[in-house]
Copies of this chain bind each other. A is one copy, B any other.
Amino acid sequence: MRLLILGGDGYLGWPTAMMFAASGHDVLAVDNYLRRTMALESDSSPLFATPVLEERARIFKQKSGHDVKVQIADCTHALAIDRIFADFMPDAVVHYAEQPSGPYSMRSESAARTTLLNNLGVTFNVIWGVLNHVPDCHIIKLGTMGEYGTPDIDIEEGWIEIEHKGRKDRFLYPRAAGSLYHTTKVLDTDLLWFYARTYGVRVTDLMQGPVYGLSTPEADLDESLMPNFHYDDIFGTVVHRFVAQAVAGMPLTVYGRGGQTRGYLNLLDTLQCVRLAAENAVDKGQLRIMNQFTELFTVNDLAEKVSRVGNQLGLKVEVNSIANPRREKEEHYYNAHFTQLLELGLEPHPMTDEVIAGMLKTVARYKGKIERRKILPRVQWNT
């Protein structure tokens, strides 16, 4: 297959590109380093520097013998993405090319505008790249479980049948996200659904939970092939922040009461899910929505796990609750279903003590590089 990976420099994009290349597919990774620029601007650079894409591809070729083609381009530029589709003619496009941070989107009006226009603009350009050049191309889009928010009813996989006043119909599951970033993913889903049902575009929209982990078969080939590791409050997810805090000897900072429940998954499982989506394309005009996580945890669960495993390794980890910078429910009902990816063959890698210990040990190699000023919340919702 010819696989186009948009956002190929990202935490998920680069491991995905390597995974498909290692499986013998023809892979083109595209990025404009937007996340690197935003991380610099917001003093949120990752734990260790990762080489630029051309250099990563060179090293990956040397270590594995496989090619990842690279193109540096801004996917919000209609002409740039049009040329990429016309030249590469992908069978599937994996669309990660979005500003990926909730806190970043809540920093300022300017950051909110960039998030909205970038994320919607790229999705729009991807749709038209497909329509203009490869109408059978399968769009695999990374959405987020955060689109659903925390409703008081069970979260189904993207759709819900509603019975109302004695009649029934099937609808997109209603969405209510907790940040502007997550809201742009809601808008993406609306837009993709419109183009699927009206123009026959093929779409898989993956409602993914927070991902953790640094190890994949390809990333493990060389230190310079590792995905970026953000432990800051802006681009770091809670698991990675807790791991960095444990290593740095800082208390793990739980936002508020810590009852916030979400679905999490190992980076290895993101790769499996995206591969399963690509290998099982959908029909023309179909929008398939799959919930992509493997385990539900509260923030308190995560703090308990990381502190317990950290203490076993002799790290003396404390846990502190701090004022919640976000607007979110800290205790809530959460029953999210996920069966489709398991039915396609996903074999989950649970968050075992060994997995957490592995992350702690990897991050400990960079202990001296952890910058404490980046970890505590610097962005308040609604100020």
The reply on A198 being an interface residue by CB < 8 A is: yes
Contact present for B167 and A193 (CB under 8 Å) = no
Q: Is A164 an interface residue (CB 8 A)?
A: yes
A116, B109: Cβ atoms closer than 8 Å: no
A366 at the interface (CB under 8 A from B): no
Find A168's partner among B152, B168, B180 (CB 8 Å cutoff): B152
A382 contacts the other chain (CB 8 A): yes
A252 at the interface (CB under 8 A from B): no
Binding site for B on A (CB under 8 A): 78, 109, 112-113, 116-117, 120-121, 124, 128, 131-132, 151-154, 160, 162-165, 167-169, 171-172, 174-178, 180, 183, 186-187, 190-191, 193-194, 197-200, 327, 333, 381-382
**Contact of A113 with B78 at beta-carbon distance under 8 Å, contacts A186-B190, A190-B187, A382-B200 already known:** yes
- What residues of chain B lie closer than 8 Å to A153, measured between beta carbons? 162-165, 167-169
Give A191 to B186 CA distance when docked, in angstroms: 9
Chain B: minimal CB distance from A83 (Å) = 14
Contacts of A183 in B (CB 8 A): 190-191, 194
| A169 touching B151, Cβ below 8 Å | yes
Identical chains bound together, number: 2
6 extra interface residue pairs, beta carbon distance < 8 Å, beyond A78-B113, A109-B131: A117-B121, A120-B120, A160-B164, A183-B190, A187-B191, A198-B381
Name, among A109, A178, A191, A381, the residue most crowded by chain B CB atoms within 10 Å (CB to CB): A109
Q: Top 4 closest A-B pairs, CB basis?
A: A171-B174, A152-B169, A153-B164, A153-B167
User: Provided the pairs A183-B190, A190-B183, A191-B187 are in contact, do residues A176 and B172 lie with their beta carbons within 8 angstroms?
Assistant: yes
**CB–CB B109/A132 < 8 A:** yes
**A178 contacts which chain B residues (CB < 8 A)?**
198
CB distance from A174 to the nearest CB of B (A): 3
Q: Are A172 and B174 in contact (CB under 8 A)?
A: yes
B residues within 8 A CB of A171? 151, 174, 176
A334–B176 Cα distance when bound, in Å, is: 26
Cross-chain contact B190 with A167 (CB below 8 angstroms): no
Q: Are A198 and B160 in contact (CB under 8 A)?
A: no
